[in-house]
Chain A
Amino acid sequence: MEFTVSKTDLARELGLSQGVVEKKTTIPILSNVLVEAGDGQVQITATDLELGIRCSCPAKVTKRGSGTIPARRLLDYVRLLPDADLQVKMLDNQWASLVCGRSRTRIAGMSRESYPELPVMPDPMVNIPAGLLSSMIKRTGFAISSEESRFTLNGALLLLKADGIIMVSTDGHRLALTESKLDLPAIGAQFRALLPKKAMVELEKLDSEAAADSVVRFSGDENHLFFDFGQRLLLSRKLTGNFPDFDRVLPKDVPRSVELNRDELRGSLERVSQFADERSRSIRLHVGPGEVKIHSSISDTGESEESVPVDYDGPEMEIGFNAQYLLEFLRAVETGTVSLHFKDPNSAGELRPVGSSTIYRYVVMPMRI
């Protein structure tokens, strides 16, 4: 294998593969990237067996072929090279020779034969406009628990229906749901899959880098999900397990609500929660006529209170929440105004954006403080 490629192109594509390459792998070959030179382009593949990414960039290929090179070392080195053409050649002993300007380097690679084969993408089911998935991930990704248990999964529910896409995530204390209306007649009844958290991170990266008017071709087989961006392909193993019945969790009866300025509320919460317990992050929201008071205290350390003006004349009520949970929503929501819906101190509260056509619902369970 021998080809010449622009250093900038190669560094960019290698950078995308880093999130997938296993860092603490027990299988050495998985810390390598697979480099394949074909018709006028090179393909770079990385996988940790759960998640795979294949990127390509144009190259002048002198001799077709393939080889694997340690991912981290290759990227670190290529990044430092001057912006110029880089000549890559796979030697017979599985070493890669890199020549760029006056630099000559050889890196020990490994045989291509032991590199795992990625599953082949079936025909695309639907086309999704670029940027849509990444914005949905931004709204839900933070509510995924990092620990697995019976009803929380390390991933989000991806639900494709004929009239749109729904993404839901939960960690057992809160639930984030977002829906984008989209005409997807090809789906039929519905397509349901659990998307692992790690895949969501990579998907968000690829999707937000994609050209504005491009589309993502989506497909899924029994065990895998595929996202094809043209030059780049992300594929992920589906998570197995039952996602909880989110419809039952969404509060049906939330008689009271207040509208709050997002940045005011966020600032207040950030300040007040400095005086909340480090682990539980508990704060109290006191909703009263004309204002929402936010209060927290740690015995022996200090306490803090702020009020945010609101338009409210219902009964006074005090509800405890984990400030962290509220803040994560406020950092993700796009609109400048949000609404808080609640019933009583023991029932779920809900936050929603105000003045946006996007459907975004965030359910938070209260705390007893």
Chain B
Amino acid sequence: MGKIRILSDQIANKIAAGEVVERPASVVKELLENSMDAGAMTVRIDVEAGGRRLIRIADDGCGMLRDDALLAFERHATSKLSDAKDLLAIATLGFRGEALPSIASVSRLRLETRADGDSTGTRVEIAGGRLLRCEDVPAPRGTSIEVADLFFNVPARKKFLRSEQTELAHVASLVTHYGLARPEKAFLLNHGRSTLLDLPPVETLRERVYQVFGSRMLEDLIELEPAERGLEAASDEDKPLSFRLRGFVSAPSVQKLNRNSIYLFVNGRLIRDRLLLHALSAAYYNLMPPACFPVALLFIDCDFEEVDVNVHPAKTEVRFRHGSFVHDFVRDTVREALIAAKPAAAMPMPPRPPQPGEGLPYSEFSQRIEAGAFAAPETPAGPDSAPGKPAAGFDLRPPQAPPRRLEFDPPVARPDLDPKPVLHRAPDSHSLLPDGLPLADASLASLSDLHPLGQLHDSFIIAAGRDGLWIIDQHVAHERILFEQVLEQQAEGRAESQRLLMPLVVRLTPSQQIEFARIAAEMERSGFECEPFGNRTLAIKAVPAGVSPADAESLVSEILDVSEQELRQASADDLRRGMAASIACRAAIKINTRLDAAKIDWLLRQLAATSCPMSCPHGRPIALRYTTREILRSFHRI
């Protein structure tokens, strides 16, 4: 008898479960996707013990008939595909027909469902892949699935589950993702008896972001104008394609040390994609220090044929048919939005009393849960109980849905901004501020009408604006101006350079020498004139205008080092930008330099004219703003 035999369905399901069901969060993901595909408007998720003991997902979707409910547990049974062509244009979140049987094979599962228009519902119970019961029951419309004792029959997998908090954090972040992707649907996530997430349906993504992250985060986010870019049809048979992008990105002043706050959705599906992550980093290039990441919520919508989601069973990876086009589209759109918004960094203020619901941003949230802050739950501290005190550790407060803000769009007159009399009214000499003070204009576009007041420590320019007090770092401001100037000159191929009286001889490291050979032409374009001068020495004969000879040596060595680090594959454009940043940094006014009023004025005007006046090419902020509102608050006038 041969050794090779066909595996039983039960074993095949368990194997598939290994790929699909990794941890409680994967169960939630698969079931949540089913609910979405079923058109549910309200989804309620209950988990117990981080999902190890129980996961229950109840929706009000289309439900299933009795036969379907049974068939759904067969392998490769799905309503979402009918023939192979459908695979090329997947419109639903799920499509493999593996989730339910896989989950059922590693847990005790109970499904209750009633299809629209059917009078009775169905209950199916399965344990470890074996059907225990199937009966008619009364049930509300929709489907409810209870997954208990996950991995009860796979002890190896069970051993690898992390702590309750970790697993819960994964579940919570997953629900958060889907909540963000579908603002029109309601999500409720309960852990035991406490509510982690309560997202009633809202109309706009902006409101959903507020529900999830709170107002602080929203202030730092720039909403992308929905953008669309078409791709010319490659041949007559193809129809022209179009890609749409919307979402939020953070101001460059928000800098995260990991990518956990980047949420990418393609056709409503949350994915991790290196191509898109790179596009996003490229958009922030020269706005943010390397190894820092923004917060971003990007939604890309395109034709279903354009993206292949059938890459991995977990469906978190995708392949774009026109990858580089998508990359450039995302990069350009985000960069344009950043340039248009010119967000100003606010003064780092002591944290305000925490907003309920604010605590849920994914990464911090999960870290805190993991750190065990979750252990001390219900201390019923109202949101206003401790004003001024910094937010104490994370507090997973029960229900308390985030307060619905009355109006989102134009924050012209926020209710609390009306300068109404305060308790301790100041004497009459303190008259009220003139009406109509623009209090919430957080854009650097107002740089142009700043009125400089002077210099602090010969390093920072203090200026009064319509909307408050500004502090501008003179060095980085000038750096930004020069950076754009140098880029422009590079582009036009007319970089000014100043010859040196005596050539400056620089010793190179071997890798610098290799690098020099590679980028010599680019350096000349930027205004350097260098000649190899024997082995591993370089004679610098001319440097870009504005760079003092004192800085020339370190500048050249920095350029040769930088491009070495930046992996050799850095594009010519990146290389040029890096070089321009180095040149600008060396040529810019240093701190500790006294500036006269005319120079300050010139600097501000030039800065206002730059396209990105918010951060220097190395990513440091240029201007801080102390808003009139914050000043008023600090003086207890509002």
Q: Which residues of A contact B (CB under 8 A)?
A: 145, 147-152, 170-175, 244, 248-249, 277-280, 282, 320, 322, 346, 348, 363, 365-369
CB-contacts of B494-525 with A (<8 A): 494, 496-502, 504
A residues near B502, Cβ cutoff 8 Å: 151, 172, 244, 248-249
A164 to B527, CA, bound (A): 41
A320 to B553, CA, bound (A): 23
| B496 with A365: CB separation less than 8 A | no
7 CB < 8 A contacts A-B = A145-B550, A150-B504, A172-B548, A279-B546, A280-B545, A368-B496, A368-B529
| B482 with A147: CB separation less than 8 A | no
A369 to B482, CA, bound (A): 16
Q: Which residue of B lies closest to A347 (CB)?
A: B499
Q: Which residue of B lies closest to A363 (CB)?
A: B501
A residues near B500, Cβ cutoff 8 Å: 172-173, 365
| A367 with B545: CB separation less than 8 A | yes
A170 to B501, CA, bound (A): 9
| B497 with A278: CB separation less than 8 A | no
B residues near A365, Cβ cutoff 8 Å: 498-501
B residues near A363, Cβ cutoff 8 Å: 501
| B504 with A369: CB separation less than 8 A | no
Closest beta carbon of chain B to A121's beta carbon, Å: 33
| A145 with B548: CB separation less than 8 A | yes
B residues near A369, Cβ cutoff 8 Å: 494, 496
Q: Of B527, B542, B545, B548, which one neighbours A147 at CB under 8 angstroms?
A: B548
| B496 with A282: CB separation less than 8 A | yes
Please judge, given known A-B contacts A151-B504, A282-B545, A369-B494, whether A172 and B499 are in contact too, CB under 8 Å: no
Question: By CB atoms of chain A within 10 A, which of B496, B542, B602 has the most?
Answer: B496
Task: Determine if B587 is an interface residue (Cβ-Cβ < 8 Å).
Answer: yes
A249 to B503, CA, bound (A): 10
| B496 with A174: CB separation less than 8 A | no
A282 to B485, CA, bound (A): 14
Q: Which residue of A lies closest to B590 (CB)?
A: A147
A249 to B501, CA, bound (A): 7
Q: Which residues of B contact A (CB under 8 A)?
A: 482, 485, 494, 496-502, 504, 527, 529, 542, 545-546, 548-553, 587, 602
Q: Of B496, B501, B587, which one neighbours A173 at CB under 8 angstroms?
A: B501
Question: By CB atoms of chain A within 10 A, which of B501, B529, B587 has the most?
Answer: B501
Q: Which residue of B lies closest to A369 (CB)?
A: B496
A residues near B482, Cβ cutoff 8 Å: 279
Q: Of B485, B498, B501, B551, which one neighbours A149 at CB under 8 angstroms?
A: B551
A residues near B548, Cβ cutoff 8 Å: 145, 147, 149, 171-172
Closest beta carbon of chain A to B102's beta carbon, Å: 64
| B549 with A367: CB separation less than 8 A | no
Q: Which residue of A lies closest to B492 (CB)?
A: A299
Q: Which residue of A lies closest to B609 (CB)?
A: A300
A249 to B504, CA, bound (A): 13
A residues near B527, Cβ cutoff 8 Å: 368
A residues near B587, Cβ cutoff 8 Å: 279
Closest beta carbon of chain B to A55's beta carbon, Å: 28
A172 to B502, CA, bound (A): 7
| B546 with A367: CB separation less than 8 A | no
Please judge, given known A-B contacts A172-B500, A368-B499, whether A279 and B545 are in contact too, CB under 8 Å: yes
| B549 with A149: CB separation less than 8 A | yes
Please judge, given known A-B contacts A249-B502, A365-B501, whether A280 and B549 are in contact too, CB under 8 Å: no
| B542 with A368: CB separation less than 8 A | yes
Q: Of A170, A277, A348, which one neighbours B496 at CB under 8 angstroms?
A: A277
Closest beta carbon of chain A to B558's beta carbon, Å: 15
| B602 with A173: CB separation less than 8 A | no
Question: By CB atoms of chain A within 10 A, which of B504, B527, B546, B602 has the most?
Answer: B546
Closest beta carbon of chain A to B549's beta carbon, Å: 3
| B542 with A173: CB separation less than 8 A | no
A residues near B485, Cβ cutoff 8 Å: 277
Closest beta carbon of chain B to A365's beta carbon, Å: 4
A residues near B546, Cβ cutoff 8 Å: 279-280
Please judge, given known A-B contacts A172-B501, A173-B501, whether A367 and B496 are in contact too, CB under 8 Å: yes
| B501 with A174: CB separation less than 8 A | yes
Please judge, given known A-B contacts A170-B501, A363-B501, A368-B527, whether A280 and B550 are in contact too, CB under 8 Å: no
Given A280-B545, A368-B527, output 10 extra A-B contacts at Cβ < 8 Å: A149-B549, A170-B501, A172-B501, A172-B548, A173-B498, A244-B501, A249-B502, A280-B546, A322-B498, A365-B500
| A172 with B496: CB separation less than 8 A | no
Closest beta carbon of chain A to B185's beta carbon, Å: 51
A244 to B497, CA, bound (A): 22
A148 to B554, CA, bound (A): 13
Q: Of A152, A346, A368, which one neighbours B550 at CB under 8 angstroms?
A: A152
A residues near B542, Cβ cutoff 8 Å: 368
Q: Of B501, B549, B550, B602, which one neighbours A278 at CB under 8 angstroms?
A: B602
A282 to B544, CA, bound (A): 12
Q: Which residue of A lies closest to B603 (CB)?
A: A278
B residues near A277, Cβ cutoff 8 Å: 485, 496, 545
Closest beta carbon of chain B to A323's beta carbon, Å: 12
Q: Which residue of A lies closest to B524 (CB)?
A: A368
A365 to B501, CA, bound (A): 6
Q: Which residue of B lies closest to A151 (CB)?
A: B502
Q: Which residue of B lies closest to A174 (CB)?
A: B501
A151 to B527, CA, bound (A): 21
Q: Of B497, B504, B551, B602, which one neighbours A368 at CB under 8 angstroms?
A: B497
Query: What 8 A-B pairs are tightest by C-beta distance, nearest first?
Result: A172-B549, A149-B550, A280-B545, A365-B499, A147-B550, A279-B546, A368-B497, A367-B498
